[in-house]
Every structure is written in C-alpha cells, then in structure tokens.
Amino acid sequence: MNFGIAQHSIALACTALSLTLFPVLAAPASAKTLVYCSEASPEGFDPALYSTNSTWDASSKPVYNRLVEFQNGTTNVLPGLAESWTISDDKLTYTFKLRNNVKFHTTEYFTPSRDLNADDVVFSLQRQLDKTSPWHTYITGITWEMTTAMGLPDMVKEISKVDDKTVKIVLSAPSASVLANLAMDFASILSKEYADHLQADGKMTQLNELPVGTGPYQFVNYQQDSVVRFAANPDYWDGRQKIDDLIFSITLDQTTRIQKLRAGECQVASYPSPADVAGLKADSELKVLEQPGLNVAYLAYNTLVPPFDKAEVRRALNMAINKQAIVDAVFQGMGQVAKNPLPPAGWGYNDAVNDDPYDPEKAKSMLQAAGVGNLAMKVWAMPVSRPYMPNARRAAELIQADFARVGVSVEIVSYEWGEYLKKARDKNRDGAVILGGTSDNGDPDNLLSFFFGCAGVGSSNYSNWCFQPLDSLLQKARIIPDQAERTKLYEEAQVIIKREAPIAALDHSTVVMPMSKKVSGYVLDPLGSHRFDGVDLAE
C-alpha cells in the first residue's frame, strides 16, 4: 500500500550531483521538456525500499520496469519485461519468458555490457527475501516493507533462472494476487551487472542513489529537495518517449504548485487544494482530470500503548470525531466520509458496515466507564499533501477540538516527511498518527494486509495491532481463487476492524490532476501514481 514509509535518506553524495557532472543526455534541437510540480522529495531511487507514491513517481515509474505491468489507467495486468508466462495446473509455478533486446540505461556512471536477462530478475526479487544476501541489508534499517506486507516471504518458495530468458517462481501455496503483486513498484527489475560493479567497488549504497533501469526515462541528476531530472531512454524497448527531458520540480506548498502551473513554470501539478479546483476548472489554459480515488485516510492509534490497547477506548474516541466536519472543511466537496479502510470504488467493500455515530456524550461516558480520565495525547499531522488527505494539519485541529469536548487534550505534532514516517513506525510511538494510502494493485489484500497484517507491526501496520483472527482470515483470502468467496472474507474483515477499532477511518477522496491544455496522453492512475510514459506536449 502506498502512502509513505521512509527508511533511508538519500546519501549526501547524491545531492552533490550537478549538471556539470551529469549533463542532460543529447536530445534533438527541438527537445521537448515537461516539468511536473511534485509534492515531496523522493526518499531514494531503489523502489523496493519504500512505499510512498512520491518516491515511486520518481523512481519505479520513469526508471524501471517489472515482469508484468498495470495497463495505464487501470488495474489490468499486461506483459512487461516478460512477454508471456505460463501457470502450472496446481497454480504453484509461474514461468516467465523475458523479452529479447531489452537494454539497460547507459549513463555517465554506468555502461552495461549486456541486455536484460534472468539474472537481473532473480537478483532484484531474491535480495528482498534472502536474509543472507549482502544486498538484503545494504541500506541500514531496511525492512523491505512492501515485500513483507504483501506476504512474499511466506508466499514465494523459490525464484530461479531456467535459462537466460526464462525465470521460474514457485509458490508455497496458490495465490490469487501474485501477478498483481509482481506489477507493483517493489518488484521493479534492477541491473545485476550494475549491482555487481558497485559491490566490487565498495559503493553498494549507490544503487539507491544513482539508478539504472530499463524504463522509459533514465536518471540524470537529483538536487535534494529541489529537482529531479530525467532524459528519454533512446533505446527503450517499447519506443522512445515524445518528451525528451522530464523534470520533477519539488514544491511542497500546494499554493506554490498552482502558481507555478498558472505561470507556465510546470505543465502538470500534483494535489491542488480542494478550494482551488473550481478556479482551475475555469482557467481556459488548463484542464483538470478527475476520478474517485482508491484511497483512504485514517487516524491510527498505537494499540501497544495504554489506554489505546483497549478497544472500548478506541471506539469511544472514534465516536468523538465529527468526520463530516473534517470532510467539509478539508475536501470542500472533493471527498466523502469513510467507514471502512477499503474504498467504495474498489471491489470487496462492505457497505453493510455501520459506522460509529458522532456522539460526544456517549464517547465521554464510554471513556469514564473504561476508567480513562484527564487523558492527554498527541495527534500527528502529515507535513505534505496526499491525495487522501490534502491538509492533515487542519484535520488534526478539528480532531483536537472534537477530543477536547470529551475531556481529552491533544498536542498536534509533525516532522519532515521522511522523519515523520520513520518515527511513526516506532512501536513506542506516543500518539495517534494521521496517514492513509492508495491501493497499489486494486486487490483488497493490498490495503488490508498492509495496514493490519501482523507481519507489518512496527512498519506498515501503524496501529501496531496484531489480531490473530483477522490475520488468519486475510491469509486465507489471499489463496482463494474465486473472487466472490474472497469478497465474503474481506467483508468479514471489515466488520472485525470496525469492532476492534485500531484506526478511525476518516475519508476517501476524489483525485484531481490539473495540467496545461498542451499536455496530451496523460492518464489518471487509479493506483495513485503519476506516470509520464506516453505523454506528449504541444508546441
């Protein structure tokens, strides 16, 4: 699930890169440049280490490919680096046939001597599972969060090379979501040859700083917290892109992003304030794409810390939150109140679940009955805009006022985005954290296992809530092939989550993307990413 989990800040060596060291690759005299005003800095450029869309937007999407890919704008799985695959009768063995003549990027810092082969696939995936590999711990503090949350350590029995163009993946049990998982960002394919060179030179962390992939764009340079530059891959297996130079202009402030868009300093801008949407739609120079998001925002209690270890306390606090007021103030018509952690736009959603009523008086009496008085707590507010929560500070202020009405005092805290995510994972974290996510593959398991799986405690499970009946149910649903049967289990899971209340589900948003009318070919991604393959810009 993507929303944000940082483990490693990019080394200072990467920030020192300059255009004198890494000039933009040669392009035609009439080179087209597209500037995207992004909302946050990438945490690194090895996508398997992270779980934020802002990081994947600047790494896996432009630089890398996967064995299989999501068709742009859908959750349909299509061939990627694997041109075809077969599945054994027992649904345990997947055999992938790789494309011929797939080139890795030639950059200022690496020149490949061969095309993509099976060694690259095995290396890219196996390092995430093999704890004895030096690449398993090449960045301090790695947890391979997405890999773990998706259950791959238990799901995958073997990854092996059959021949240079054939890879075999053997599962421990059938999985209904394995192909969708392999289309996710953490399954991006890196160059083993490049990794071997870095290891021999004692520069392994460079794999996360100076990326080499097979994707539509290749990395040029990164100036920390300022700009990321890419150039069209001249040898891209699926055809050279029409945009020659792709630039991510990192602009944290929503208002500034829109100002840059209107001024023509960027052609696409992420996550506008809902208050700005009507004006953007009225601008004759702009167009605004819009669709319901496969997302959710929530307030996650730390269930390992009293009194939040008691479900009755968590339910009482949930009843104290006026979620409609948050949606009205923060989204201004571009969102809806959430009662489940799954979005209603996706399959598996349980509309029969009854939400907690907004009832401050009952919440107060429930806290008293639970022996909780004079409670003081922290509420964490994200420092960046996300599609599921454009203004976490405002939401935190409203929650602060709601909790005050039931006798609970709240201190609002925040940190720089990467630090926010790192500190929020601490099992001893003081306070409830505002976060959320957008589905990475459209499968209910993605969000539910990521948020609530026992394997994610201390990482992606920000409530640190391991409830074995739910965990067993999710593991069962993962291996059932029939979607109708899986739906029943996910509906049951949502009933359990509502009853035990490890989080307060806050909202689901409508996703909007404003851009210049000169931009064509851009498709809104239901999975929350920003892709620029296939995009063009009129003169």
Q: Report pLDDT digits (tens) over 29-80.
A: 579 999 999 999 999 999 999 988 999 999 999 999 999 999 999 989 999 9
User: How far lies 213's CA from each of 197, 299, 327, 363, 536, in Å?
Assistant: 15, 37, 41, 53, 22
Q: Could you tell me which of 22, 169, 15 has the C-alpha nearest to residue 93? A: 169
Residues 202-249: pLDDT tens digits? 999 999 999 999 999 999 999 999 999 999 999 999 999 999 999 999
List the structure tokens of 519. 């931009």
What phi and psi values does residue 155 have, to the nearest 5 degrees?
-75, -40
pLDDT of res. 1: 53
Report which secondary-structure segment, H or E, holds 329.
helix 323-331
pLDDT digits (tens, 9 = 90+) for 466-518: 999 999 999 999 888 889 999 999 999 999 999 999 999 999 999 999 999 99
Task: Provide the Cα torsion 440, 444, 445, 450; round to 10°.
Answer: 60
Residue type at 72 in one-letter notation: N
DSSP 230-299: EEE-TT-TT---S-SEEEEEE---HHHHHHHHHTTS-SEE----GGGHHHHHH-TTEEEEEEE-SEEEEE
| CATH of 12-253+518-537 given 3.90.76.10, 3.20.20.140, 3.30.1490.20, 2.120.10.70 | 3.90.76.10
Given a cut of 90, whether residue 306 has pLDDT beyond it is yes
- Distance (Å, rounded) from C-alpha 82 to C-alpha 96? 6
**pTM exceeds 0.85, yes or no:** no
Q: Which helix (H) or strand (E) holds 506?
A: strand 503-516
pLDDT of 17 strictly over 50: no
| Residue ranges, CATH 3.10.105.10, the chain | 295-511
What are the tens digits of pLDDT across the range 386-419? 889 999 999 999 999 999 999 999 999 999 988 9
Which of 414, 397, 385 is closest to 509 using CA atoms? 385
Other beta carbons less than 10 A from residue 536's beta carbon: 15
Architecture category of domain 295-511 in CATH: Roll (3.10)
Residues facing 296 on adjacent strands: 437
Tell me the sheet residues that pair with 169.
Answer: 94, 159
Q: Which of 439, 441, 512 is nearest to 291 (CA)?
A: 512
Cis bond before residue 307 (omega within 30° of 0): yes
pLDDT tens-digit series, residues 126-170: 999 999 999 999 999 888 989 988 888 989 999 999 999 999 999
pLDDT computed for residue 85 by the predictor: 98
Length of the chain counted residue by residue: 539
Query: Which one, of 432, 443, 429, 440, lies nearest residue 402 by Cα?
Result: 432
Q: Are strands 227-232 and 295-300 parallel, antiparallel or unpaired?
A: unpaired
Residues of the chain with CATH 3.90.76.10: 12-253+518-537
Residue 27 in this model has a pLDDT that exceeds 60: no
Residue 184 has pLDDT above 80, yes or no: yes
Q: Mean pLDDT across the chain, nearest whole number?
A: 93
